[in-house]
Structure 1
Amino acid sequence: MSARDVDLYLSQFSAEQRAGLDDLRSKLLQLVPAAEEGISYGMPAVIEGGKVLAGYACFKNHLSYFPHSSILITNTLSELGQYKCSKGGLQFGVDQRIPVQLIEKLVAEKRKLIAEKASKG
């Protein structure tokens, strides 16, 4: 899987939906410049060291950001108040944008979880 696969995924959406997805993509790649892009669970993903840091997707009436960790959502719930949260991700309107500071925090927390898991063997 590659950035080309992500481009193909994104090409199926309307300009409005695509704008929201492109915003997420560019913020994630800005925060993780050495990241690889790919498809994980059928959606675009940002991958570092072989581990998925985040995924994002478009649905009929919303966009979603997936940190691929339910504990991460639970631990940051107080900061996610304006977003509808599920066990695995957060949902937001097609015209809404997630602030880069929140994405940065979610990515940092995911990196910590990955490091903790690696240290436990």
Structure 2
Amino acid sequence: MPKLSNDPGAGVAEVDAYIQALPEPKRSTLEEVRRRILAVIPNATQKISYGMPGFVVNGKVVAGIAAFKNHCAFLPHSGRVFVGIERHLEGFTRTMSSLHFRVDEPLSQELIAVLIEEKMQVLEVDGWTRP
């Protein structure tokens, strides 16, 4: 992984490097999830956060993605995001704060939109302001 920079514009290159370093099919799966996240939050800033690609809106990470040995993950950086949306998560394995999905099957655009909306609602409860 490349050395991280304090330059906010370097974030896209860092995320590019993270994804490009992955073997297939993880690479194309995360690239598609990234594209779908940016379709929901097109003005998000990309950066490496906690060692994985993160998508920042108004100073807060609203989504993260990562690849692991046997799965990929969507990380909303809050366990509160999954509360109340269980019906959308049927068929997925998850931990308290990550949603696991197959290395060869990107999350749907619809599910990504639900997850990001829930994260924004959680942030608003904590005093964050939407753009």
State how far apart, in whole Å, the 2-side matches of 1:112 and 1:30 are: 18
Are 1:10 and 2:32 an aligned pair? Answer: no
Moved over 6 A (4+): none
Q: Which residue of 2 aligns with 1:54?
A: 63
Q: Which residue of 1 aligns with 2:3?
A: none
State how far apart, in whole Å, the 2-side matches of 1:95 and 1:78 are: 22
Counterpart residue type for residue 56 of structure 1: I
3-state SS in 2 of match to 1:61: coil
Instruction: Give the helix-richer structure, 1 or 2.
Output: 1
Gaps of 5+ in 1: none
State how far apart, in whole Å, the 1-side matches of 2:36 and 2:72 are: 15
3-state SS in 2 of match to 1:15: coil
RMSD: 1.2
TM-score normalised to structure 2 length? 0.86
1:57-85 Cα offsets, whole Å, 9 max, x none, are: 00011100011110112332222011101
Q: How many residues align?
A: 119
Identity rate, percent:
32
Q: Which residue of 2 aligns with 1:29?
A: 38
Task: Select 1:91's aligned residue among 87, 100, 104.
Answer: 100
State how far apart, in whole Å, the 1-side matches of 2:108 and 2:26 are: 17
State how far apart, in whole Å, the 2-side matches of 1:94 and 1:101 are: 18
Structure 1, 106-115 or 71-80: larger mean CA deviation: 71-80
Counterpart residue type for residue 103 of structure 2: V
